[in-house]
Structure 1
């Protein structure tokens, strides 16, 4: 935001230089640029300007590094990306660690300035199309709210700038607004956007009335949470308790019940939109196979599953963006992919059994067959040892004719009749690509198109990133209902999600219902940038994000009398053993620090703006 001062001075200097030239040169119109007046006087150019503001979505959550790897969902395989700066609690204003450009302070304010420019020039449109002007105002209002919400959920209350700064202003150093003011500002923009976009048939990927209401549901749910209720947050964190400006982080007074009621009402407004939602009218669980298929259809946004997607970041093969390369970024190394964000055992263990009971390593049957009879969403989300996947490349099919994931080490018999060790093709000892193997023994399948024709290392896919889902609004509604004591209503809506996935009904009450709700959201929304924010706003990060990352070691030993020369997963020929291990601290040594409830404002921003206040737990030098 405050870079404007530097840019403005450079611009003024350029004008001074240019005025020393002849008038004809100065008045020449650039062939590659349009004047500001030309843009705002032309309806198509104005629409193009607003459309470009969506570029702040960047790739959504489909960057090579994913927010999942800052959580107990995943670990990032490759070194040198500054992720461990955060996961090991070393983040600081000079080196905050990996910050994606979807929530980077400077990038967000750049987009906010663009929305302010659009809104200023659309107050009195210079073109004759009132309907278009209203629609573009609605989109700009939504986008401004979205970018402010990104800042708020990472940083707390932030400077609220609602107009484009001009040259020669007396002061560009805006202070941070309170959390309450920030939430109110976002909600006001979303209410305006919903009204302006109501009834409009928008193209996929553009803001709609539904997306405005869904984002309102999210921000009000966050606002009602423990982290943003300062009396509650102070009891759970000494870092917050000792902060001199708690109003920047949450509400210092007022009624949490009223805040939860607002969140409930906002969420129900989304649920009442009958044009959205996928298979939420079931009264009993579907079959295991249907549950897996339903989850895949939502994750891939196809076969009806796209009805769950309220707002997405879309990708097309004609424009080859990295957002269409999830197979390359996260697929198995034995398929010549990069194994970027691999699931940790902590996540795997939280997938329930088909009967709704918890998985337990102390149960001999569970321990001997850990991938059988699990929640159907597990099979749609994770590639595990022995799971069926795509055909290998022609060069590697002789090693694995069946296309099965191999993340263990197994006995085979060589040409001389000797037992030797076969290292799985998808391990870090793989004969294909050992350097890109998973450290955890798993790969993530969700969002990766299973079509064998899409060869992940050299083709792109057309799977959208889910920015806002109808299912998220269900979770928001259920969470508010639980907080307000409406447990039966919460269970009713949670069971709609579970029945669709083939899982039995939730029946718990009280704290047990809270825990069941949290695990249900963890599983349903895995890898969707929900977990990082949820664990922080629930203030359970020390016991979740603070846990050491772990994985699975798998050994296949030939049964007596069995002879196998080319390995395949086969319990009739092999005895399999499974051992959970912690990730080597030299790779990643996770450590939660309460300062990470909020990200640090970068030192450069603090130096530019003397009115900024740093977040708790950080020292700006």
Structure 2
């Protein structure tokens, strides 16, 4: 019997179905001994149920081991031997970024039950019922949005289905909805619930009107992109519309996205604004992701972590610089190393794109007095996103250098930074490798020459497993709303509006020369999202919706020429993560002795090249699901 029930539940996507008692629909300790009527008679009990539902939203990547998801797509290098497969494979499997249908529809069933029971509650005030109902519908819509991003059209189930044990479960079978139907549902739910949710709230971990509008704007933008750019990939469609959105619908979607974003921008959802609390622009950008104070008006919806409550994460433990690691032996450090590919995307203050200048036009190395001079005059978001050589963390200068470069161009170094050696022609042993790397194969130290800064928590104890970090993961924020509005306006031909919104984001980063409406191009749209939203879980889904993923990740290996050309182009190849290694120049006879030189390096473990297949645009649907339910059509290219 148990096997039969399991097959039914998996095949027909109804979660726990009728084999669970209603009183068991949530495994929340504080309500497990209460009846439904009791649980929905006390607002505090309902909030505890909601807390569980919020914690189970589907994410691209968060802080629950999410550094590996960020260490992909050639935006970074994974400095952990066990994760070398990320840079050694030739592509992604068809099942990448998929969903567990049983678990996900189990969760949807619980959301449907929550909505049903809240609606039926008689002991709650009408005000509480309305907010709880809106939150339940927000979570359900946002979850369907996350699923459609991965799978395309899926069964749209809005009631808690019940199996009657009559031996024929076929009445529970539901076909996949059109991809556009799922997006339309998300948009319509946001519009229906926004006014039942509070305006900007001090509790940013619960849905507000701003969160509903941000979801609507993002979802409509995605749908508009697929309708417009999907024509470039006719193989990534299904005749029933389960995958792909018909051309011609993009204008309506872009109009919806712009209107929803403008409601937030115009203050109709509360006083949101860009974070501008620190005078140093790089410090300000980094602080945006750390500051939980009420004065941080940029965060719209977050997944919060609170050390005092025991809810923490290990992002800082895993990714802190090696020399500042708080774990014994520093075995937990340095895993996520941003790539030179990403670093070069941060443009110069004059709005131009250029490679990081390691050599002059003739290929001769440039000598720098300070390690940071090579990055001077760049977009302030660079140093707010990436820890650069010559910078500090927690007030401690970092030790990032790969050894000495000698007059003949050879390298003098060692694998162990604690092993002192005399330089050629000398007898006094000195340090010849930075404690923080880089050296090929030294895991937990940078292999790219950079460490991640975004999300990194300087709070004492945050880098220790026993304590962990309480930095929140921001799901929706105001800068993205501005960029969503800019993109939608650009697609609607409103380039002046697009320029205004994009320039607001750029000015916060120190790019104070405004882009003109004529300078707002598709390439600019793509570039701006890449640098502003780096390591926030957007790049994969942005390139998928624009149908650029198979072009950017074409499976061919890169050359240095590939790396340093076409910067700022939406179709620039990005298949292998490069690094930039600093060296101390040693030549006592030269006036440049003791200065810094840099070399472009492909870490030795990088043997593969990212290859995005047409079948990766929509993830594989398990054969067991399709064989048990013939109404579930398979994906294209599956």
TM-score (norm 1): 0.81
Q: Of the candidates 309, 328, 337, which is equivalent to residue 319 of structure 1?
A: 309
Alpha-carbon distance between aligned partners in 2 of 1:217 and 1:615, rounded to the nearest angstrom: 27
Partner of 2:612: 592
Q: Deviations over 1:233-282 (max 9, x none)?
A: 23x22532xx44361223225342222112111111121226343358x9
Change (3 A) 1:132 1:85: farther
Does residue 578 of structure 1 match 2:586? no
Q: Of the candidates 570, 577, 581, which is equivalent to residue 549 of structure 1?
A: 577
Secondary structure, aligned partner of 1:57: coil
Contact kept, 8 Å, 1:297 with 1:303, in 2: the verdict is: no
Partner of 1:356: 351
Secondary structure, aligned partner of 2:267: coil
Does residue 442 of structure 1 match 2:450? yes
How far 1:502 moved relative to its partner? 1.2
How far 1:482 moved relative to its partner? 0.8
Alpha-carbon distance between aligned partners in 2 of 1:613 and 1:597, rounded to the nearest angstrom: 16
Alpha-carbon distance between aligned partners in 1 of 2:31 and 2:466, rounded to the nearest angstrom: 37
Secondary structure, aligned partner of 2:56: helix
Contact kept, 8 Å, 2:153 with 2:178, in 1: the verdict is: yes
Alpha-carbon distance between aligned partners in 2 of 1:256 and 1:216, rounded to the nearest angstrom: 15
Change (3 A) 1:160 1:98: closer
Partner of 1:224: 224
Contact kept, 8 Å, 1:82 with 1:97, in 2: the verdict is: no
Partner of 1:290: 280
Contact kept, 8 Å, 1:152 with 1:182, in 2: the verdict is: yes
Contact kept, 8 Å, 1:313 with 1:467, in 2: the verdict is: yes
Contact kept, 8 Å, 1:239 with 1:594, in 2: the verdict is: yes
Contact kept, 8 Å, 1:217 with 1:263, in 2: the verdict is: yes
Q: Deviations over 1:59-101 (max 9, x none)?
A: 8622323433332422333355697499733413xxx2466xx
Q: Deviations over 1:490-513 (max 9, x none)?
A: 111111111112112342555763
Secondary structure, aligned partner of 1:109: helix
Alpha-carbon distance between aligned partners in 2 of 1:518 and 1:119, rounded to the nearest angstrom: 38
Partner of 1:308: 298
Does residue 76 of structure 1 match 2:78? yes
Alpha-carbon distance between aligned partners in 2 of 1:355 and 1:260, rounded to the nearest angstrom: 30
Contact kept, 8 Å, 1:385 with 1:408, in 2: the verdict is: no
TM-score (norm 2): 0.79
Does residue 143 of structure 1 match 2:139? yes
Q: Of the candidates 237, 248, 254, which is equivalent to residue 242 of structure 2?
A: 248
Alpha-carbon distance between aligned partners in 2 of 1:255 and 1:82, rounded to the nearest angstrom: 42
Contact kept, 8 Å, 2:438 with 2:448, in 1: the verdict is: no
Alpha-carbon distance between aligned partners in 2 of 1:31 and 1:319, rounded to the nearest angstrom: 19
How far 1:413 moved relative to its partner? 6.2
Alpha-carbon distance between aligned partners in 1 of 2:282 and 2:581, rounded to the nearest angstrom: 26
How far 1:34 moved relative to its partner? 3.2
Contact kept, 8 Å, 2:92 with 2:612, in 1: the verdict is: no
Partner of 1:21: none
Q: Deviations over 1:366-396 (max 9, x none)?
A: 97353222211111111122222236xxxxx
Change (3 A) 1:255 1:167: closer
Secondary structure, aligned partner of 1:598: coil
- Count residues with an aligned counterpart: 563
Q: Deviations over 1:408-446 (max 9, x none)?
A: 22367649725767222122659xx94322332221011
How far 1:517 moved relative to its partner? 2.6
Contact kept, 8 Å, 1:70 with 1:532, in 2: the verdict is: no
Change (3 A) 1:346 1:105: farther
How far 1:363 moved relative to its partner? 7.7
Q: Of the candidates 233, 242, 254, which is equivalent to residue 230 of structure 2?
A: 233
**Unaligned residue ranges in structure 2 (runs of 5+):** 1-8, 22-29, 367-372, 405-411, 413-419, 555-574
How far 1:326 moved relative to its partner? 1.9
Alpha-carbon distance between aligned partners in 1 of 2:500 and 2:605, rounded to the nearest angstrom: 43
How far 1:155 moved relative to its partner? 1.4
Partner of 2:434: 424
Q: Of the candidates 120, 123, 135, which is equivalent to residue 119 of structure 2?
A: 123
Alpha-carbon distance between aligned partners in 1 of 2:434 and 2:594, rounded to the nearest angstrom: 14
Secondary structure, aligned partner of 1:45: helix
Contact kept, 8 Å, 2:91 with 2:609, in 1: the verdict is: no
Secondary structure, aligned partner of 2:626: helix
How far 1:173 moved relative to its partner? 2.5
Alpha-carbon distance between aligned partners in 1 of 2:47 and 2:289, rounded to the nearest angstrom: 30
Alpha-carbon distance between aligned partners in 2 of 1:453 and 1:7, rounded to the nearest angstrom: 41
Change (3 A) 1:80 1:363: closer
Alpha-carbon distance between aligned partners in 2 of 1:211 and 1:191, rounded to the nearest angstrom: 11
Partner of 2:209: 209
Contact kept, 8 Å, 1:65 with 1:76, in 2: the verdict is: no
Alpha-carbon distance between aligned partners in 1 of 2:267 and 2:467, rounded to the nearest angstrom: 36
Contact kept, 8 Å, 1:56 with 1:108, in 2: the verdict is: no
Q: Deviations over 1:563-582 (max 9, x none)?
A: xxxxxxxx975233322233
Q: Of the candidates 334, 340, 345, which is equivalent to residue 340 of structure 2?
A: 345
Does residue 483 of structure 1 match 2:491? yes
Partner of 2:400: 406
Alpha-carbon distance between aligned partners in 2 of 1:90 and 1:370, rounded to the nearest angstrom: 35
Does residue 188 of structure 1 match 2:188? yes
Alpha-carbon distance between aligned partners in 2 of 1:171 and 1:80, rounded to the nearest angstrom: 46
Secondary structure, aligned partner of 1:435: coil
Alpha-carbon distance between aligned partners in 1 of 2:462 and 2:316, rounded to the nearest angstrom: 9
Contact kept, 8 Å, 1:535 with 1:545, in 2: the verdict is: no
Contact kept, 8 Å, 1:331 with 1:338, in 2: the verdict is: yes
Contact kept, 8 Å, 2:80 with 2:443, in 1: the verdict is: no
Contact kept, 8 Å, 2:112 with 2:158, in 1: the verdict is: yes
How far 1:459 moved relative to its partner? 3.6
Contact kept, 8 Å, 1:85 with 1:98, in 2: the verdict is: no
Alpha-carbon distance between aligned partners in 2 of 1:48 and 1:86, rounded to the nearest angstrom: 44
Alpha-carbon distance between aligned partners in 2 of 1:90 and 1:527, rounded to the nearest angstrom: 19
Change (3 A) 1:528 1:246: farther
CA RMSD of aligned residues (A): 3.5
Partner of 1:517: 525
How far 1:52 moved relative to its partner? 1.7
Partner of 1:384: 388
Greater CA deviation, 215-224 or 299-308? 299-308
How far 1:153 moved relative to its partner? 1.1
Partner of 1:263: 257
